[in-house]
Structure 1
Amino acid sequence: MFDENYKFTAVDRFLKYVKIETTSDEESTTFPSDPKQLELSKLLVEELKEIGMQDVEMDEYGYVMATLPSNVDKDVPAIGFIAHVDTSPAVSGKDVKPVIHKNYQGGDIVLPGDPSKIIKADENPELKDMIGFDIITSDGTTLLGADDKAGIAEIIDAMNYLIQHPEIKHGKIRVCFTPDEEVGRGTEKFDVIKFGAKYAYTIDGSTRGEVEIETFSADAVVIKFHGKNVHPGYAKGKMINAIKIAANFIDMLPKDRLSPETTEKREGYVHPTSVTGNETETVVKFIIRDFDADKLKEYESMLKELAEKAVANYPGSSFDFEVIEQYRNMKYVLDQHPQVEAYAIEALNRLGIKPIKSAIRGGTDGARLSYMGLPTPNLFAGGHNFHAYTEYIAVQDIEAAVKMIVTLAQIWAEK
């Protein structure tokens, strides 16, 4: 089906995008969290116009949206493709220098800008399926930015292909490139009604063939321990040190289960992320995760019981306990729209790519969008080792993702 003479543009676009710093800022209260992201967003507006997309605009928050009109005369649901412009603040994304390792023949990949940064073959089993591929990395002094500049490049190239091949029938397609996904705010200002798609896909997954329809359900818990501060020179029998109450509480957490470092696959966890305070008040913050939303209540009850025990050990102290709902497993929504996953799997099968159904031990913009009325699973973009100096992606996987998007658009029109 795919035109063998088509010259892919995704890799060239990707190599250009990664050189633009778009790190988001988790401490910022502005939106987007860092205006540097807008530099790439403005470029994307121009590129979408250049390939012939319509209704191209960037709104006041930095969301870039565009339309590829339907070329069929029957009623086809509008579908959307979404990726994010920002990169993780965990590793620098400034002055990225991409390196292409052509015709990979196995073994470790030493990154030339910092030879201590090595993509080790025994730690990256996906590499065994990339023999003969051209692998893109950074030089080792920054992350690469495949998460998710690869997804952006793939979506634009797929739209370019469809525009250049009008014989391929498709319904209305909407694309959106969002800011601040990496700091959990990617959907904060997203206007589902304005976007105008009935279903969507984020192109933000990893291994070729991934179809992710399930995420953790997530809550945050904030526990404030209240003590009593007295001048330490005269504190005997009077001081109640909130720091020690919090330490006693933390020491009671399970040591061999229910933590990120002791769980995998479908196991949930209870994870303290920060401790701040003084003798008078100490605050312990948690994130709580499980694929089964009902288990979150069990974990939260456990934390409350442990807090009660800690306070009982320090008579005269008290605590406040707050639960903040974050997001829920998108599977609960997507199960009501099985065709969204089914068409993605069919697209992969048509391309000879083995579908990999996986559950995300985290969240995606798709999880939030699904509960905002836009069912949105996550599909592979091809990158690996996200948020790390050792991030990498294969040229061949970038081009496979372009084909997947094109094929998926065609299947929606056929069905």
Structure 2
Amino acid sequence: MYENLLPRFLRYVKTETRSDATSTTTPSTQTQVAFAKELMKELEEIGMKDISYNDKNGYVIATLPSNVDKEVRKIGFIAHMDTADFNAENVNPQIIENYDGESTIKLDKEGKYTLNTKDFPSLKKYKGETLITTDGSTLLGADDKSGIAEIMTAMEYLIKNPEIKHGEIRVGFGPDEEIGIGADKFDVKEFNTDFAYTMDGGPLGELEFETFSAAQAEITLLGKNVHPGTAKNTMINALQLGIDFHNLLPENERPENTEGREGFYHLLAFDGNVEEAKMTYIIRDHDRKIFEERKQKVLDIQAKLNEQFDQERVVIDMFDQYYNMGEIIEKDMSIIDLAEGAMKEVGIEPIIEPVRGGTDGSKISFMGIPTPNIFGGAENMHGRFEYVSLQTMEKAVDVIAKIAENNAK
């Protein structure tokens, strides 16, 4: 059942598909287009039908036809092709078999970068398992190529075992999730399912149907630069204005001070000079009411600071990015029950908790297809310490197949 999972995953992660936030194309990089074409060939080889590539949104779509003679809900499984903003060239995965749950794993030959249980206590969970790590110079790309490999392997298994009954299944491999725009052009009518799951979660058992609601604020600070020796009552330092703005936000509501359902204001960037400076914030909360209050807080600070001047010195461009998909999914929890039941049947204890972030499912849910998130296995995503357990990936394959089977019962 799993014989092609590891070689498939290794092949995927060695293919560079990093997205580019500065690009104006869809997908944002041509490496993702090339990877999409390779996935299309593989989908054809394993026996999927109606395989297509959408030039407008960068999604590869394919169908596994129903093999039951009754009408059942259509399921989708989705994963993203791109990797995060970290070196992704010449990925050289290492395989550690039968990890003992204690030893320090050297990533590079010199041992400058290591996976150890002090810094990464989650390693202790993987005693006796096979771990795939980086060589310390790149990310791994298990976010989300583990998801792609798991979906592909599950589809191959269902095709080879037609005695397992299932309804119609659609798979979608999309671009640019890591830069937050991958699902913007997702075509709900083309995908045509009743619900879907993104295979983009972390450790074993994660089942997530709540995300943050998210906004971004681009702030321009307009100063007045004069010689500092004669600056009294004349100079307006744009940098100081930015510091004043930041200090008016609650100090304890920053990412480093929050957890669980606690939202935050996160200063992503701050640069400039006395004459002009720019700041970028992201604003996050699970509760829509509090989310709106957070955005209003930013605007209130803008108004307070601008009151000091005879012209607008603090200019804000604020826009929503995505919303908590729980608002949609809570209307029909049967798809969560389906996934939860499938996990338990294959020996997994579901971990249901809100995502302190977002997924493509956040946007797709509000487009009309409820799309919660299931574990893909990746740990320490987006950097050189990323790793994944092969056995966790195998369990994800089991969950996909079991969801398909149980949905048809």
TM over 0.5, shorter chain: yes
Pair 1:206-2:198 in alignment: no
1:9-48 Cα distance to aligned partner (Å, 9 max, x none): 1111001111111111112121111111122211110110
Unmatched segments (≥5 aa) in structure 2: none
Pair 1:29-2:24 in alignment: yes
Counterparts of 1:13-412 in structure 2, within 5 Å, are 13-60=8-55, 61-89=57-85, 91-107=86-102, 108-113=104-109, 115-229=111-225, 237-255=233-251, 257-313=252-308, 318-412=313-407
- Amino acid aligned to 1:194: E
Separation (CA, whole Å) in 1 of partners of 2:383 and 2:169: 33
Deviation at 1:234, TM superposition (A): 7.0
Is the alpha carbon distance of 1:100 and 1:339 closer, same or farther for their aligned partners in structure 2, counting shifts above 3 Å? same
- The alignment partner of 1:24 has SS state of coil
- Amino acid aligned to 1:62: G
CA contact (8 A) 1:154 1:402 kept: yes
1:194-237 Cα distance to aligned partner (Å, 9 max, x none): 01111000001111111011101111223333344557787664
CA contact (8 A) 1:216 1:329 kept: yes
Is the alpha carbon distance of 1:132 and 1:225 closer, same or farther for their aligned partners in structure 2, counting shifts above 3 Å? same
Is the alpha carbon distance of 1:225 and 1:139 closer, same or farther for their aligned partners in structure 2, counting shifts above 3 Å? closer
Q: Which moved more, 1:52-61 or 1:66-75?
A: 52-61
1:53-104 Cα distance to aligned partner (Å, 9 max, x none): 0011222143111000000011111110000111001x21110111110111
CA contact (8 A) 1:113 1:141 kept: no
TM norm structure 1: 0.93
- Amino acid aligned to 1:63: Y
- The alignment partner of 2:401 has SS state of helix
CA contact (8 A) 1:114 1:139 kept: no
CA contact (8 A) 2:154 2:401 kept: yes
- Amino acid aligned to 2:218: V
Q: Which moved more, 1:298-307 or 1:206-215?
A: 298-307
- Amino acid aligned to 1:331: G
- The alignment partner of 1:28 has SS state of coil
TM norm structure 2: 0.94
Separation (CA, whole Å) in 2 of partners of 1:177 and 1:56: 11
Deviation at 1:131, TM superposition (A): 1.0
Deviation at 1:318, TM superposition (A): 3.4
Q: Which moved more, 1:302-311 or 1:113-122?
A: 302-311
- Amino acid aligned to 2:45: E
Identity value in percent: 45
1:148-203 Cα distance to aligned partner (Å, 9 max, x none): 11110110110000000000000000001001111101112211100111100000
1:244-285 Cα distance to aligned partner (Å, 9 max, x none): 322222233333x11011111111101122234444443322
- Amino acid aligned to 1:153: A
Is the alpha carbon distance of 1:350 and 1:337 closer, same or farther for their aligned partners in structure 2, counting shifts above 3 Å? same
- Amino acid aligned to 2:151: I
- Amino acid aligned to 1:373: G
- Amino acid aligned to 2:203: T
Separation (CA, whole Å) in 2 of partners of 1:21 and 1:227: 43
CA contact (8 A) 2:108 2:137 kept: no
CA contact (8 A) 1:307 1:319 kept: yes
Deviation at 1:352, TM superposition (A): 1.0
CA contact (8 A) 2:217 2:319 kept: yes
CA contact (8 A) 1:240 1:316 kept: no
Separation (CA, whole Å) in 2 of partners of 1:121 and 1:292: 35
- The count of residues paired between Structure 1 and Structure 2 equals 407
Separation (CA, whole Å) in 1 of partners of 2:237 and 2:120: 47
- The alignment partner of 1:175 has SS state of strand
Unmatched segments (≥5 aa) in structure 1: 1-5
- Amino acid aligned to 2:193: A
- The alignment partner of 2:353 has SS state of strand
Separation (CA, whole Å) in 2 of partners of 1:186 and 1:246: 31
- The alignment partner of 2:178 has SS state of helix
Q: Which moved more, 1:307-316 or 1:211-220?
A: 307-316
CA contact (8 A) 1:246 1:310 kept: no
Separation (CA, whole Å) in 1 of partners of 2:195 and 2:257: 36
Deviation at 1:316, TM superposition (A): 5.3
CA contact (8 A) 1:245 1:311 kept: no
Separation (CA, whole Å) in 1 of partners of 2:301 and 2:364: 35
Is the alpha carbon distance of 1:342 and 1:233 closer, same or farther for their aligned partners in structure 2, counting shifts above 3 Å? same
1:3 alignment partner in structure 2? none
Separation (CA, whole Å) in 1 of partners of 2:197 and 2:110: 36
Deviation at 1:312, TM superposition (A): 4.2
Separation (CA, whole Å) in 1 of partners of 2:282 and 2:180: 13
